[in-house]
Structure 1
Amino acid sequence: MFISPHHPQKIPEDLKAYAREMRKKMPDAEELLWYLIRNRKVAGAKFRRQHPVGRYILDFYCVEKKLAVELDGGQHSEQQTYDQTRDAYLSQQGIHVLRFWNNQMLLETEVVLEAIYLNLSDNNPSLASDEFQMLGRGEGG
Protein backbone atom coordinates (compact mmCIF):
# COMPACT_ATOMS: atom_id res chain seq x y z
CA MET A 1 0.00 0.00 0.00
CA PHE A 2 1.35 3.43 -0.98
CA ILE A 3 1.04 6.20 1.59
CA SER A 4 1.67 9.64 0.17
CA PRO A 5 4.44 11.42 2.08
CA HIS A 6 3.05 14.74 0.87
CA HIS A 7 -0.51 14.72 2.15
CA PRO A 8 -1.03 11.91 4.61
CA GLN A 9 -4.61 10.91 5.32
CA LYS A 10 -4.29 11.76 8.97
CA ILE A 11 -1.16 11.99 11.04
CA PRO A 12 -1.64 10.23 14.37
CA GLU A 13 -1.70 12.71 17.24
CA ASP A 14 1.16 11.00 19.09
CA LEU A 15 3.38 11.21 16.01
CA LYS A 16 2.44 14.84 15.40
CA ALA A 17 3.24 15.76 19.02
CA TYR A 18 6.55 13.89 18.89
CA ALA A 19 7.58 15.68 15.68
CA ARG A 20 6.77 19.06 17.28
CA GLU A 21 8.84 18.15 20.33
CA MET A 22 11.76 17.06 18.14
CA ARG A 23 11.69 20.42 16.33
CA LYS A 24 12.14 22.18 19.68
CA LYS A 25 15.04 20.00 20.86
CA MET A 26 17.29 19.58 17.83
CA PRO A 27 20.89 18.44 18.44
CA ASP A 28 23.67 20.84 17.40
CA ALA A 29 24.29 18.99 14.14
CA GLU A 30 20.61 19.27 13.14
CA GLU A 31 20.50 22.96 14.08
CA LEU A 32 23.55 23.60 11.88
CA LEU A 33 22.12 21.72 8.92
CA TRP A 34 18.74 23.42 9.28
CA TYR A 35 20.45 26.83 9.31
CA LEU A 36 22.32 25.92 6.11
CA ILE A 37 19.46 24.39 4.10
CA ARG A 38 16.39 26.35 5.21
CA ASN A 39 14.80 28.99 2.98
CA ARG A 40 15.91 27.23 -0.22
CA LYS A 41 19.62 27.91 0.40
CA VAL A 42 20.82 24.70 -1.31
CA ALA A 43 19.91 24.24 -4.98
CA GLY A 44 16.68 26.18 -4.42
CA ALA A 45 15.17 23.17 -2.63
CA LYS A 46 12.61 23.59 0.12
CA PHE A 47 13.14 21.32 3.11
CA ARG A 48 10.81 20.47 5.95
CA ARG A 49 12.22 19.39 9.30
CA GLN A 50 10.91 16.54 11.41
CA HIS A 51 8.46 15.59 8.68
CA PRO A 52 6.20 12.55 9.31
CA VAL A 53 5.97 9.87 6.61
CA GLY A 54 3.95 6.83 7.58
CA ARG A 55 4.95 5.97 11.16
CA TYR A 56 8.41 7.53 10.73
CA ILE A 57 9.71 11.06 11.20
CA LEU A 58 12.34 12.31 8.75
CA ASP A 59 14.94 14.75 10.06
CA PHE A 60 14.82 16.81 6.87
CA TYR A 61 12.69 16.21 3.79
CA CYS A 62 12.49 17.85 0.36
CA VAL A 63 9.05 17.00 -1.02
CA GLU A 64 9.86 18.16 -4.55
CA LYS A 65 12.89 15.88 -4.91
CA LYS A 66 11.66 13.14 -2.54
CA LEU A 67 14.96 13.39 -0.70
CA ALA A 68 15.34 12.73 3.02
CA VAL A 69 18.45 13.76 4.95
CA GLU A 70 19.04 11.95 8.23
CA LEU A 71 21.62 12.93 10.86
CA ASP A 72 22.43 10.11 13.23
CA GLY A 73 24.05 10.04 16.65
CA GLY A 74 25.99 7.14 18.10
CA GLN A 75 22.82 5.24 19.07
CA HIS A 76 22.23 4.48 15.40
CA SER A 77 25.25 2.17 15.29
CA GLU A 78 23.20 -0.09 17.59
CA GLN A 79 19.92 0.12 15.67
CA GLN A 80 21.02 -0.71 12.15
CA THR A 81 18.19 -3.21 11.62
CA TYR A 82 15.59 -0.54 12.47
CA ASP A 83 17.27 1.96 10.14
CA GLN A 84 17.39 -0.60 7.31
CA THR A 85 13.69 -1.42 7.74
CA ARG A 86 12.86 2.28 7.84
CA ASP A 87 14.97 3.05 4.75
CA ALA A 88 13.37 0.14 2.86
CA TYR A 89 9.90 1.52 3.67
CA LEU A 90 10.93 5.01 2.54
CA SER A 91 12.43 3.60 -0.65
CA GLN A 92 9.10 1.89 -1.38
CA GLN A 93 7.53 5.35 -1.11
CA GLY A 94 10.03 6.65 -3.70
CA ILE A 95 12.07 8.56 -1.11
CA HIS A 96 15.87 8.55 -1.38
CA VAL A 97 17.61 8.73 2.01
CA LEU A 98 20.98 10.35 2.66
CA ARG A 99 22.35 9.42 6.07
CA PHE A 100 25.22 11.17 7.87
CA TRP A 101 26.71 11.00 11.35
CA ASN A 102 26.23 14.07 13.59
CA ASN A 103 30.01 14.43 13.92
CA GLN A 104 30.34 14.35 10.16
CA MET A 105 27.89 17.25 9.87
CA LEU A 106 29.82 19.24 12.47
CA LEU A 107 33.35 18.45 11.26
CA GLU A 108 32.87 17.92 7.51
CA THR A 109 30.07 20.37 6.81
CA GLU A 110 31.11 21.11 3.23
CA VAL A 111 31.23 17.40 2.32
CA VAL A 112 27.70 16.91 3.67
CA LEU A 113 26.36 19.98 1.85
CA GLU A 114 28.03 18.87 -1.39
CA ALA A 115 26.40 15.44 -1.16
CA ILE A 116 23.00 17.06 -0.56
CA TYR A 117 23.52 19.50 -3.42
CA LEU A 118 24.55 16.75 -5.84
CA ASN A 119 21.49 14.69 -4.93
CA LEU A 120 19.24 17.71 -5.49
CA SER A 121 20.85 18.71 -8.77
CA ASP A 122 18.88 17.94 -11.90
CA ASN A 123 22.16 17.44 -13.76
CA ASN A 124 23.34 14.59 -11.54
CA PRO A 125 21.70 11.21 -11.07
CA SER A 126 20.94 10.30 -7.49
CA LEU A 127 24.14 9.24 -5.78
CA ALA A 128 24.46 5.82 -4.26
CA SER A 129 23.92 5.85 -0.52
CA ASP A 130 27.48 4.89 0.29
CA GLU A 131 29.29 7.39 -1.96
CA PHE A 132 29.26 10.29 0.47
CA GLN A 133 27.57 9.32 3.67
CA MET A 134 28.75 7.52 6.77
CA LEU A 135 32.36 7.98 5.79
CA GLY A 136 33.48 6.22 8.95
CA ARG A 137 34.89 9.26 10.70
CA GLY A 138 31.82 10.10 12.74
CA GLU A 139 30.12 8.50 15.67
CA GLY A 140 29.84 4.74 15.59
CA GLY A 141 31.69 4.47 12.29
Structure 2
Amino acid sequence: MTTIKIIAVSFLGIASGLAVGSGFVAFLTVLGVIPRLTQLTKTMKMIQQYEWAVVIGALTGVVASLRDPVLHIWPYTLILLGVTGGIFVGMLAAALTEVLNVLPILVKRIRLDGEIIILIMAIVLGKIVGSLFQWLYFVDH
Protein backbone atom coordinates (compact mmCIF):
# COMPACT_ATOMS: atom_id res chain seq x y z
CA MET A 1 0.00 0.00 0.00
CA THR A 2 1.33 3.39 -0.89
CA THR A 3 1.93 6.08 1.68
CA ILE A 4 -0.94 8.19 0.35
CA LYS A 5 -3.37 5.28 0.69
CA ILE A 6 -2.15 4.59 4.23
CA ILE A 7 -2.63 8.25 5.18
CA ALA A 8 -6.08 8.37 3.53
CA VAL A 9 -7.28 5.18 5.22
CA SER A 10 -5.86 6.35 8.55
CA PHE A 11 -7.63 9.70 8.20
CA LEU A 12 -10.91 8.02 7.29
CA GLY A 13 -10.58 5.63 10.22
CA ILE A 14 -9.89 8.40 12.73
CA ALA A 15 -12.65 10.61 11.29
CA SER A 16 -15.14 7.74 11.35
CA GLY A 17 -14.18 6.83 14.90
CA LEU A 18 -14.59 10.41 16.05
CA ALA A 19 -17.97 10.68 14.33
CA VAL A 20 -19.28 7.45 15.81
CA GLY A 21 -17.83 8.20 19.25
CA SER A 22 -19.28 11.70 19.24
CA GLY A 23 -22.65 10.34 18.18
CA PHE A 24 -22.55 7.73 20.93
CA VAL A 25 -21.68 10.30 23.59
CA ALA A 26 -24.32 12.71 22.27
CA PHE A 27 -26.85 9.90 22.23
CA LEU A 28 -26.18 9.02 25.85
CA THR A 29 -25.99 12.66 26.93
CA VAL A 30 -29.05 14.01 25.13
CA LEU A 31 -31.25 11.14 26.20
CA GLY A 32 -29.82 10.99 29.69
CA VAL A 33 -29.77 7.20 29.45
CA ILE A 34 -27.53 6.58 32.45
CA PRO A 35 -29.27 8.97 34.90
CA ARG A 36 -32.67 7.68 33.76
CA LEU A 37 -31.54 4.09 34.21
CA THR A 38 -30.33 4.81 37.72
CA GLN A 39 -33.66 6.48 38.53
CA LEU A 40 -35.68 3.55 37.26
CA THR A 41 -33.59 0.99 39.13
CA LYS A 42 -33.27 3.19 42.24
CA THR A 43 -29.47 2.88 42.18
CA MET A 44 -28.43 6.56 41.99
CA LYS A 45 -25.43 5.95 44.22
CA MET A 46 -24.00 3.53 41.62
CA ILE A 47 -23.97 6.02 38.70
CA GLN A 48 -20.17 5.87 38.38
CA GLN A 49 -20.31 2.09 38.02
CA TYR A 50 -22.85 2.52 35.20
CA GLU A 51 -20.60 5.06 33.48
CA TRP A 52 -17.57 2.80 33.77
CA ALA A 53 -19.61 -0.12 32.46
CA VAL A 54 -20.45 1.92 29.34
CA VAL A 55 -16.80 2.94 28.84
CA ILE A 56 -15.48 -0.60 29.34
CA GLY A 57 -18.22 -2.00 27.09
CA ALA A 58 -17.37 0.49 24.33
CA LEU A 59 -13.64 -0.26 24.57
CA THR A 60 -14.30 -4.01 24.57
CA GLY A 61 -16.44 -3.60 21.47
CA VAL A 62 -13.68 -1.66 19.73
CA VAL A 63 -11.05 -4.27 20.57
CA ALA A 64 -13.36 -7.10 19.49
CA SER A 65 -14.10 -5.40 16.17
CA LEU A 66 -10.42 -4.81 15.44
CA ARG A 67 -9.51 -8.42 16.13
CA ASP A 68 -11.27 -11.64 15.23
CA PRO A 69 -11.67 -13.23 18.65
CA VAL A 70 -12.48 -16.90 19.07
CA LEU A 71 -14.21 -17.46 22.36
CA HIS A 72 -13.93 -20.91 23.85
CA ILE A 73 -16.86 -20.65 26.20
CA TRP A 74 -19.44 -22.98 27.62
CA PRO A 75 -22.50 -23.09 25.33
CA TYR A 76 -24.87 -22.12 28.14
CA THR A 77 -22.91 -18.92 28.62
CA LEU A 78 -24.26 -17.90 25.22
CA ILE A 79 -27.71 -17.72 26.81
CA LEU A 80 -26.45 -15.10 29.26
CA LEU A 81 -24.72 -13.20 26.45
CA GLY A 82 -27.89 -13.33 24.35
CA VAL A 83 -30.03 -12.04 27.21
CA THR A 84 -27.67 -9.16 27.96
CA GLY A 85 -27.44 -8.33 24.24
CA GLY A 86 -31.24 -8.37 24.03
CA ILE A 87 -31.50 -6.03 27.02
CA PHE A 88 -29.07 -3.64 25.35
CA VAL A 89 -30.93 -3.70 22.03
CA GLY A 90 -34.25 -3.18 23.83
CA MET A 91 -32.94 -0.19 25.74
CA LEU A 92 -31.40 1.19 22.55
CA ALA A 93 -34.70 0.82 20.68
CA ALA A 94 -36.59 2.55 23.48
CA ALA A 95 -34.08 5.40 23.49
CA LEU A 96 -34.26 5.73 19.71
CA THR A 97 -37.99 6.33 19.88
CA GLU A 98 -37.17 9.44 21.87
CA VAL A 99 -34.41 10.45 19.44
CA LEU A 100 -36.92 10.61 16.62
CA ASN A 101 -38.26 13.77 18.23
CA VAL A 102 -34.86 15.37 17.56
CA LEU A 103 -35.19 15.24 13.77
CA PRO A 104 -37.95 17.90 13.50
CA ILE A 105 -35.87 20.22 15.70
CA LEU A 106 -32.81 19.64 13.51
CA VAL A 107 -34.85 20.35 10.37
CA LYS A 108 -35.95 23.71 11.78
CA ARG A 109 -32.40 24.61 12.83
CA ILE A 110 -30.91 23.96 9.41
CA ARG A 111 -33.90 25.67 7.74
CA LEU A 112 -35.33 22.70 5.85
CA ASP A 113 -38.87 23.33 7.11
CA GLY A 114 -41.37 21.07 5.41
CA GLU A 115 -38.64 18.97 3.78
CA ILE A 116 -37.72 16.45 6.47
CA ILE A 117 -37.55 13.82 3.73
CA ILE A 118 -34.31 15.43 2.49
CA LEU A 119 -32.67 14.94 5.89
CA ILE A 120 -33.87 11.35 6.20
CA MET A 121 -32.73 10.52 2.67
CA ALA A 122 -29.31 12.07 3.35
CA ILE A 123 -28.95 9.85 6.41
CA VAL A 124 -30.12 6.75 4.50
CA LEU A 125 -27.93 7.38 1.46
CA GLY A 126 -24.92 8.11 3.67
CA LYS A 127 -25.43 4.81 5.46
CA ILE A 128 -25.78 2.95 2.15
CA VAL A 129 -22.65 4.53 0.62
CA GLY A 130 -20.67 3.88 3.80
CA SER A 131 -21.79 0.25 3.95
CA LEU A 132 -21.00 -0.32 0.27
CA PHE A 133 -17.59 1.29 0.68
CA GLN A 134 -16.80 -0.95 3.64
CA TRP A 135 -18.05 -4.07 1.90
CA LEU A 136 -16.37 -3.45 -1.45
CA TYR A 137 -13.10 -2.09 -0.10
CA PHE A 138 -12.46 -4.07 3.07
CA VAL A 139 -14.26 -7.38 2.49
CA ASP A 140 -13.11 -8.15 -1.04
CA HIS A 141 -9.48 -7.12 -0.48
TM-score (norm 1): 0.26
- Structure with larger Rg: 2
| Structure with greater proportional helix content | 2
Greater strand fraction, Structure 1 or Structure 2: 1
TM (norm. structure 2) is: 0.26
